[in-house]
Amino acid sequence: MEDAAGALPKKVDFSEWYNELLWRAEIMDVRYPVKGLYVWFPYGFAIRTFVYQRLRELLDKDHQETLFPLLIPEQEFMKEAEHIKGFENEVYWVTHGGTTPLDVKLALRPTSETAIYPMYALWLRSHADLPLKLYQIVNTFRYETKQTRPLIRLREITSFMESHTVHATWEEAEQQVESEIALTRQFYERLCIPIIISRRPDWDKFPGADYTIAIDAIMPNGKTLQIGTVHHLGVHFSKTFSIMYEDKNGEQKLANQTCYGISERCIAALISIHGDDKGLILPPVAAPVQAIIVPITIGKRHEDVMAAAEHLKNDLTAAGFRVKLDTRDMRPGAKYYWWELRGVPLRLELGPRDLDAGNVMAVKRTGEKTSIELAAAADGVTRVLKEITDTIRTAAEQHTQHNLCTAPSIDALNGALNDGKVAVVHWCQNKGCAEVIEEKTSSSILGTDVRSPYVSESEGVCVVCGKPGKATLVGRTY
């Protein structure tokens, strides 16, 4: 695919920047002729592979992977009242097989509780079967009515990781919620994405949950993006689907459950938070190409330089790095631009002078140059990639810290939101006051019990009614 002409829009114009970047860096093609459905370019898909590998590594420590069907019979889907209410306007239905109307309509899963739990009811017999912790990474379908956006709001979520766990007691399920939160922290830590954890207000929890913990990230324009949720389901679904176990005393008990989800929004956050005016900046852990070797050959040293570049590539590949050698017939400057746009963390420039000195020039995508000894190239690359990861993480943390503030009044909140910030206010947890806050500032209450290194929880008075309030996160959200 050839380069689009002209410069990338500046990142301060976030929407344009994001859309252009998805196209130019070959992440998603948005031209698929169904609204809310997008196509992964191979390069974008490779990023997805590395990101989800990290997620799988973490899950596989104490979950097992599984795979359930896409289609859910209507009567199962319709069993849990709150769940139906939450999803009925978002479900796609399959009504025909060929030209024959189906006896039982089939839902395309918007999420898989009602596919998985009838089977859990069959599988679960005794306390010895608990805890049960399964996950799957699948596509799900939601007929979203808000504006759709690639990787952010999809009608086909292509990369939905959903974990579904079963426990004996409510407390054990609560511990599992904490353990899924810890897992999510580690995942986003590896991707250098700072997160804010909070407890969603009751009216905003997952349909059929006792409570919902949400994980949010702050995007460059100051809007928040919910990039994961963990739900304590209590016994809502086990009642409906008869998920029972025999306890140690031979009594039949209802099981307690949790579920937890992450979608390709994690990649939207990765791209958006780290990128700059030149394009993507990928942390090495997520980069399909971690180092690109660009040979600088002039005149008669061509053969020498190419041989050394090939040698360097083999060394680094053997050491486990994802490396490419760019031998295309293009000016070096054009190659630099190409790989910068695609976010490759490290460029290794090798010319006759470097070769004579036994070095290669390492240029970080985050902006510095340093020299690496060819004889110890793998060590040098390890060191420099680590520095790049640290720089990316620090920049992202600074962005998050800068975009979080405390607002003592509705006016201050409005000012903060208009400045592209997310704010902590005090709120009494009364729905009426939440509506006033949300209406007066066109924002959303994200949650209470905020967990972020940049938010110190404190008591205060509600910005609407003056009664005692809890520290509450408020933002404009995708």
**Does residue 267 belong to the site contacting ligand A5A (CB under 6 A)?**
no
Stretch of 96-104, 261-269, 273-281, 396-404 contacting ligand A5A, by CB under 6 A:
261-269
Q: Cβ closer to Zn ion: 370 or 430?
A: 430
Task: State the minimum distance, in angstroms, from the CB of residue 435 to Zn ion.
Answer: 10
Task: State the minimum distance, in angstroms, from the CB of residue 152 to ligand A5A.
Answer: 6
- Identify residues 95-114 at the interface with Zn ion (CB under 5 A): none
Q: Cβ closer to Zn ion: 293 or 463?
A: 463
**Does residue 465 belong to the site contacting Zn ion (CB under 5 A)?**
yes
Q: Cβ closer to Zn ion: 367 or 466?
A: 466
Cβ–Cβ < 8 Å for 150, 30:
yes
Cβ–Cβ < 8 Å for 186, 177:
no
Q: Cβ closer to Zn ion: 410 or 465?
A: 465
The neighbouring-strand residues paired with 445 are: 474
Which CA distances in Å does 250 have to 124, 170, 242, 254, 441?
14, 19, 17, 13, 55
Q: Residue 478's binding partner, choosing from ligand A5A, Zn ion, none, with beta-carbon cut-off 5 to 8 A by kind? A: none
**Does residue 229 belong to the site contacting ligand A5A (CB under 6 A)?**
yes
Task: State the minimum distance, in angstroms, from the CB of residue 117 to Zn ion.
Answer: 38
Cβ–Cβ < 8 Å for 470, 448:
yes
Stretch of 226-234, 308-316, 404-412, 433-441 contacting ligand A5A, by CB under 6 A:
226-234
- Identify residues 93-132 at the interface with ligand A5A (CB under 6 A): 111, 113
- Identify residues 419-458 at the interface with Zn ion (CB under 5 A): 428, 430, 433
Q: Cβ closer to ligand A5A: 259 or 350?
A: 259
Q: Residue 366's binding partner, choosing from Zn ion, ligand A5A, none, with beta-carbon cut-off 5 to 8 A by kind? A: none
Q: Cβ closer to Zn ion: 77 or 427?
A: 427
**Does residue 157 belong to the site contacting ligand A5A (CB under 6 A)?**
yes
Helices 377-402 and 265-274, packing angle to 10 deg: 90
Amino acid at 324: K
Q: Residue 433's binding partner, choosing from Zn ion, ligand A5A, none, with beta-carbon cut-off 5 to 8 A by kind? A: Zn ion
Task: State the minimum distance, in angstroms, from the CB of residue 151 to ligand A5A.
Answer: 7
**Does residue 153 belong to the site contacting ligand A5A (CB under 6 A)?**
yes
Stretch of 13-21, 41-49, 236-244, 253-261 contacting ligand A5A, by CB under 6 A:
253-261
Q: Is the dihedral of CA 24, 28, 34, 37 positive or negative?
A: negative
Q: Residue 265's binding partner, choosing from ligand A5A, Zn ion, none, with beta-carbon cut-off 5 to 8 A by kind? A: ligand A5A
Which helix (H) or strand (E) segment is 100 a member of?
strand 100-108
**Does residue 158 belong to the site contacting ligand A5A (CB under 6 A)?**
no
Among 21, 168, 413, 462, binds Zn ion (CB under 5 A): 462
Which CA distances in Å does 156 have to 52, 97, 240, 397?
18, 21, 27, 31
Rounded to whole angstroms, the Cα distance separating 158 from 60 reads 20
Stretch of 61-69, 225-233, 235-243, 443-451 contacting ligand A5A, by CB under 6 A:
225-233
Cβ–Cβ < 8 Å for 11, 220:
yes
Tell me the HSE value of 298 on the side-chain side, using a 13 A CA sphere.
6
Query: If we measure between CA atoms, which residue out of 344, 280, 264, 266 comes closest to residue 24?
Result: 280
Query: If we measure between CA atoms, which residue out of 337, 354, 338 comes closest to residue 296?
Result: 354
How many residues comprise the chain? Answer: 478
Q: Cβ closer to Zn ion: 73 or 460?
A: 460
Residue 468: is the preceding peptide bond cis (ω within 30°)? no
Q: Residue 465's binding partner, choosing from ligand A5A, Zn ion, none, with beta-carbon cut-off 5 to 8 A by kind? A: Zn ion
Q: Cβ closer to ligand A5A: 265 or 470?
A: 265
The strand ranges marked E within 343-397 are 346-350, 359-364, 369-373
- Residue 185, both tokens: 């922290």
**Does residue 260 belong to the site contacting ligand A5A (CB under 6 A)?**
yes
Tell me the three state secondary structure of residue 354.
helix
Rounded to whole angstroms, the Cα distance separating 170 from 149 reads 37
**Does residue 464 belong to the site contacting Zn ion (CB under 5 A)?**
yes
Cβ–Cβ < 8 Å for 24, 275:
no
Among 201, 208, 228, 345, binds ligand A5A (CB under 6 A): 228
Q: Cβ closer to ligand A5A: 111 or 448?
A: 111
Cβ–Cβ < 8 Å for 227, 245:
no
DSSP assigned state of 255: P
Among 256, 263, 366, 452, binds ligand A5A (CB under 6 A): 263
User: Distance of alpha carbon 38 from its chain centroid, rounded?
Assistant: 17
The neighbouring-strand residues paired with 371 are: 361
Tell me the three state secondary structure of residue 183.
helix
Task: State the minimum distance, in angstroms, from the CB of residue 252 to Zn ion.
Answer: 44
Q: Cβ closer to Zn ion: 223 or 470?
A: 470
Residues that bind ligand A5A (CB under 6 A): 111, 113, 142, 144, 153-154, 157, 162, 206, 226-229, 231, 259-261, 263, 265
Residues that bind Zn ion (CB under 5 A): 428, 430, 433, 462, 464-465
